[in-house]
Amino acid sequence: RGRGAGAGRRGKARHRAQQRRRRRRFSRRRGRRFSLQGGQILRVSTALSCLLGLPLRVRRIRAGRSQPGLRPQHLSGLEMIRDLCEGKLQGGEIGSTEITFTPGKIKGGTHVADTKTAGSVCLLMQVAMPCVLFAASPSELHLKGGTNAEMAPQIDYTVMVFKPIVEKFNFTFNCDIRKRGYYPQGGGEVIVQMSPVKELSPINLTERGTVTKIYGRAFVAGALPIKLAKDMSSAAVRCIRKEIRDLYINIQPVREPDDQAVGTGSGIIIVAETSTGCLLAGSSLGKRGKNSDKVGIEAAEILLRNLKHGGAVDDSLQDQLIIFMALAKGVSRVKSGPITLHTQTAIHFAEQLTKAKFTVTKSEEEDPSKDAYIIECQGMGMINSNL
């Protein structure tokens, strides 16, 4: 009996040690995964720091990257948030791996952010928009950089998909594309005008409905001929037709006016609109050596993947909605495809910094081939004390 009891205690001790090792391994893995989302962490945490008046320190910024630390795009966003709330920023320089941010009071008016590169203006918009919603007066954001950049939403996606969906939180904004800018020089300019709100309403995007329209634009600018835009459009239509045969598809080939574009660029965005007002998209950018047919097919395949999972929002919109769900008053529910790492990161830091509570559950679909999830959030109910 004594040997058995001792063996039992040793077995329990071994089990507890194994659990501790697993937790440490999971924590390290999660830390590595989050470190790859350095820009996402900065956008969510600094916006919430500004809104909640919470001092913030972020360390090991983009530690897992070949070029660790702040890039021009990240620094521009941080400086804009600092200025719009008259806060203080320490460590604000290119390559810095640690910043300390102390927010002040959010104010309206005109605010400028210029990456001086092809860094995405859409990502600048992501960090600033939640803040100016809770300002004391209307705001105008002058954002300069890349309008159609890799690893970020294209400005066309922001206008055609993000804008109509995010306005369901009960606010509106105007997005004026003054000039488009492409890799590597950027030079694009977008002006965003917004008025503050008292509070945000929750949203419910769980009924996808049926696809009623498919439309989009294939564009070229600079030295590229319109034929490339036509080739992208035709290839995309052929690809979609293999899956969806009974719907009119209208993808317009466009050549951007020379006085409204800086540099040479090309790309395509395709949007599917449903009977319940959902918008899902696929997009792709052209680059040197990349066949124009391949660009069109790539965008079409992304759209078809987004339609196949059965969600009411696409992969690119998931993470962009998280901060608004966290700030809204009441319960928001969104049906999406598989949860992206960007979305997991946004949820983690939104929960850390607010009183919002998120749950993610597998959607109980009649069709087992669907891979959809319900993201539910009990929002913190942020109130604009200025109004």
For residue range 117-128, what is the model confidence (pLDDT) as tens digits?
999 999 999 999
Inter-residue contact 57 to 99 (CB < 8 Å): yes
In three-state secondary structure terms, 329 is: coil
Neighbours of 387 (CB within 10 A): 13
Q: Is 282 exposed, middle or buried (0-12, 13-18, 19+ CB in 10 A)?
A: buried
Residue 222 zone, left/alpha/beta (φ > 0; ψ -120 to 50; rest) = left
- The DSSP line for 54-107 is --EEE-STTTTSSS-S--HHHHHHHHHHHHHTT-EEES-STT-S-EEEE-----
Q: Is 198 exposed, middle or buried (0-12, 13-18, 19+ CB in 10 A)?
A: middle
Place of tokens 């859409």: 122
**Interatomic CA distance for residues 109 and 137, integer angstroms:** 7
Predicted confidence at residue 16, as pLDDT, reads: 57
pLDDT in tens, 71-97: 998 999 999 999 999 999 999 999 999
Q: Which domains does the chain have, with CATH numbers?
A: 211-308 (3.30.360.20), 315-378 (no CATH)
Lowest mean pLDDT among 25-29, 132-136, 154-158, 298-302: 25-29
Residue 199 pLDDT greater than 90, yes or no? yes
pLDDT in tens, 5-62: 455 555 556 655 555 554 444 334 344 444 456 788 999 999 999 999 999 999 989 8
Predicted confidence at residue 22, as pLDDT, reads: 43
**Overall average pLDDT of the 341-364 stretch:** 95
Q: Is 90 annotated as a binding residue?
A: no
Angle at the Cα of 256 from the Cα atoms of 254 and 145, rounded to 5 degrees? 130
Portion of the chain with pLDDT greater than 90, in percent: 83
H or E element that contains 335:
strand 331-336
Predicted confidence at residue 9, as pLDDT, reads: 57
Beta strand segments in 210-248, E: 211-221
- The DSSP line for 126-180 is HHHHHHHTTSSS-EEEEEEEBSS-TTS--HHHIIIIIHHHHGGGT--EEEEEEEE
Enumerate the active-site residues. 342
**208 φ, ψ to 5°?**
-75, -40
pLDDT in tens, 204-239: 999 999 999 999 999 999 999 999 999 999 999 999
Inter-residue contact 104 to 51 (CB < 8 Å): no
| pTM for the full predicted model | 0.89
Higher pLDDT, 378 or 3: 378
Higher pLDDT, 188 or 4: 188
**Interatomic CA distance for residues 198 and 383, integer angstroms:** 6
Higher pLDDT, 17 or 313: 313
Predicted confidence at residue 364, as pLDDT, reads: 82
What is the dihedral sign for C-alpha 126, 130, 136, 138? positive
pLDDT in tens, 230-239: 999 999 999 9
**Closest listed residue to residue 298, CA positions, set 310, 311, 307, 285:** 285
Tokens of 314: 């696409």
DSSP label at 340? P
Portion of the chain with pLDDT greater than 70, in percent: 89
